[in-house]
Structure 1
Amino acid sequence: MPKPNFLIIGAQKCGTDALYHALQQHPDIAMSPNKEPFFFLMDGRLPDYRLPGPRYANRLVYDWDAYLHLFADADGKRAIGEASAIYLSSYFPEKTAARIRDRIPEAKLIALVRQPAERAYSAYNFYRARDFEPLASFAAALAAEPARIQANDTPDFRHRMNGFYYANLKPYYDLFPREQIRVYLFEEWNADPAGTLRSIFQFLDVEESLPIDVERRNVTHRYRSQRLHRFLARPGRFGKRLHRVLPSALRSRLDRWNQMPPAPMPPELWRELTEGYREDILDLQTLIGRDLSHWLKNDRPMTARG
């Protein structure tokens, strides 16, 4: 049975969903039908942290044979991969990297990263909008993060810690040859998806010139009405009856109307977070050989979109 020969390891809220769906369109690439099986986070063990919801538990793959079965239809493909963005998190990245190295040492690794304060705010708003994040303000979530880590809460709520990309990437560079790792910037992926895809196709040794549609996915937003969102996304027994009456086109229009951009991040939080990331950003730019000085500017738009 074929094994994956590349992984999109993260980071969360950096465009991995759009990349996963873009790669699915290439005839020489096979992607796991389950975008994020999380296998190398656990490798045969049940997760020892609290999951944010039952939908997460249903997609986790613990067993190696079950993991390989995800790629059962990939025979003959040049590139075979999956996209568990949690692999590039602060949840013991050295263990995750070692498990990948032990199982598939020849694997190529792809990472997308974005300005870490921006990523943290986007992640908070993403989980908040989906009713996973219970804390009503970003500041409260940041303040609660040390206690959450101590209590072994889900790594998805490590909004601040998951942005220390140098610390989280270094174990991969320690265990894999540099030529097996590619790191791309979120802002470049957004601005030039076709150019980024050509580079990735070259890295994966597949045809580079194929036209691929890139659609933004899992864009962070908030809802005018959380009740309306719950009704549309996860209806109860009464809601399911109404769903049968309401045309799907009308439900889609209601959902689009209900979405709105997140409020801008408070400037003081932006500055505090960015200053806290400064050393890691400087180390990261040395590690990956990219100028990241624009990440350290205080006049950047404080957005959570993407």
Structure 2
Amino acid sequence: MIPNLFLIGAQKSGTSYVHNVLTRNGLVSCGKEKEMNFFSKREAHIKQGIDEYLLNFKDSPKSKYLIDSSTSHFQPNNPRIDKNPAKQIYNFNKNAKIFAVIRNPIERYESAYNHHILMGRIEPTDNIDKILDKHLLLNIGRYDESIIQWREYFPQLKILTYDSLCSNPELFFSDLFDFLELNKARKNLVLDFRSNDTQIRFDKKKNPSLTSKIKLTKESKNFLKDYYQESILNLEKLIGQDLSHWIE
């Protein structure tokens, strides 16, 4: 069996939690590594071929779905065909189910900024008063561009929101299970745990200067609202949802 379910992103939008709900409850199977990034990073193809990629899933339990949750697959505006994850996954398994979880891109930016601080990629500061265009911080939040690219190959791409995951997780997963045709999955579902929580990761850091998440300044937040406004308006049309609260 080869991977036939892909949770493609977006990064810092609750994807680790969603992955863990599906796998911990035995609803889908996964490989040894959650994120292989095989179809999104050229260096992955250089270092390993498809056979080595599949070895990650060799000992996975049998189930209806075998999931790859590489959130690096959800990146817009990559002109290179050899790094177009949607096209590559279509060529790999055109019958795969694809879904994404998206989050207010301003909140996502703040969360990703803190993540990169923890990873040592960005210097710690008192607040986020400068908008950095590095590590795809801005790029990933342009969800409309990614969705258009993915729907070219997978028209049935399922889009879920972090808002709905937080406000009503039971309804969120019910919607996902309908998409996956997992009709028996609603019973005895364990949802009460946390995954990849940024504040918990800060608490575990021994560096005394890294004690808590930092916040966007009002000026930075307003900049991001302007930056993402057109993208969010396009996104509303693509997924048929009112997202005006994202930029209020």
TM (norm. structure 1) is 0.71
Report what 2:68 is aligned to. 82
Say if 1:114 and 1:187 are closer, same or farther in 2 by CA, change over 3 A: same
Query: Quick check: 2:164–2:172 contact (8 Å CA) kept in 1?
Result: yes
* Alpha-carbon distance in structure 1 between the residues aligned to 2:47 and 2:57: 13
Does the alignment pair 1:280 with 2:231? yes
Say if 1:223 and 1:135 are closer, same or farther in 2 by CA, change over 3 A: closer
TM (norm. structure 2) is 0.86
Q: Which moved more, 1:101-110 or 1:88-97?
A: 88-97
Q: Return the offset for 1:199.
A: 1.8
Does the alignment pair 1:188 with 2:164? yes
Query: Quick check: 2:124–2:210 contact (8 Å CA) kept in 1?
Result: no
Greater share of residues in helix: 1
Does the alignment pair 1:92 with 2:89? no
Deviations 1:264-288 (A, max 9, x none): 3101111110111011101111111
Quick one: which amino acid aligns to residue 64 of structure 1? I
* Alpha-carbon distance in structure 2 between the residues aligned to 1:224 and 1:75: 34
* Alpha-carbon distance in structure 2 between the residues aligned to 1:35 and 1:159: 21
Local SS of the residue matching 1:124: helix
Quick one: which amino acid aligns to residue 290 of structure 1? Q
Note the 1:134-213 alignment, pairs <5 A. 134=123, 136=125, 138-140=128-130, 142-143=131-132, 145=133, 148=134, 157-178=135-156, 181-206=157-182, 207-213=184-190
Query: Quick check: 1:202–1:208 contact (8 Å CA) kept in 2?
Result: no
* Alpha-carbon distance in structure 2 between the residues aligned to 1:194 and 1:224: 29
Does the alignment pair 1:125 with 2:114? yes
- Work out the number of aligned pairs and report it: 241
The higher radius of gyration belongs to 1
Q: Return the offset for 1:83.
A: 0.6
* Alpha-carbon distance in structure 2 between the residues aligned to 1:76 and 1:263: 42
* Alpha-carbon distance in structure 2 between the residues aligned to 1:212 and 1:92: 38
Local SS of the residue matching 1:203: helix
Q: Return the offset for 1:126.
A: 1.3
Say if 1:47 and 1:65 are closer, same or farther in 2 by CA, change over 3 A: closer
Gaps of 5+ in 1: 49-59, 149-156, 231-257, 298-306
Q: RMSD across aligned C-alpha pairs, in angstroms?
A: 2.7
Report what 1:106 is aligned to. 95
Quick one: which amino acid aligns to residue 23 of structure 2? Q
